[in-house]
Amino acid sequence: MPGIAGTAGYNEAADVLVRQYETLTFEDVHADVLHLLPDAPARVLDVGAGSGRDAAALARLGHRVVAVEPARELRERARRLHADTPVTWIDDALPELEAVHRGGRRFDLVLLSAVWMHLDGDERARAMKSVASLLAPGGRAVLTLRHGPVPPARRMFDVPVAETVALAEVNGLHVVHRGTRGDLLGRPGLRWSVLGLQPF
């Protein structure tokens, strides 16, 4: 899908997507990895934060949250929707996360929920290196991998779990959780893999 950006379609559909994302709770979406959350207060990076649902929920739990969202319309709606929660919003994107790296921070949790599928093979390799370097000692990364049909005008790839695990290991991370689930929005043919990664 050359020429199509990972954010393609998200700005145009921002209102619909925010309503859709906000119908689910953080606890429902991430039920199988809640045991991987660090104790509060921890430093959390939410990459591809969308409507801000997860970032806001983590901030309410007492974490210090940095939310990255490259789609401007989504980011601005999220800021307004969750204006009452202390989240730091950044315009940045995988694979490099240059603005995050410039901040010089390391994180106890990096959340990558429904974003990895927007990266091609080369970008995934660079992104894993970037994410691994942002983890504090003992920190964890949680990724969800999408499997199923691609919506029109979106840039998405079906990412094998085995490839993701291999990339993690090359970058000094090992799997501490592996799971699968259906699509909570009931979209036909769609399922998700969930990985928890931690430095060796």
At 26, list the tokens: 């953080």
* Per-residue pLDDT reduced to its tens digit, 103-137: 999 999 999 999 999 999 999 999 999 999 999 99
- Give me the DSSP letters along 120-175: -HHHHHHHHHHHHHHEEEEEEEEEEEEESPPPTT-------HHHHHHHHHHTTEEE
Task: Give the SS3 label for residue 95.
Answer: coil
* Environment class of 157 (CB within 10 Å of its CB; exposed 0-12, middle 13-18, buried 19+): middle
Contact 194, 178 (CB under 8 A): yes
The string of pLDDT tens digits covering residues 60-115 is 999 999 999 999 999 999 999 999 999 999 999 999 999 999 999 999 999 999 99
Q: Count the neighbouring beta carbons within 10 Å of the beta carbon of residue 129.
A: 16
Q: What is the pTM of this model?
A: 0.93
State how far the Cα of 189 lies from the Cα of 192, in Å rounded to an integer.
Answer: 10
Question: How long, in residues, is the chain?
Answer: 200
Q: Which residues contact 139 (CB under 8 A, 6 or more apart)?
A: 38, 106, 107, 108, 109, 110, 198, 199
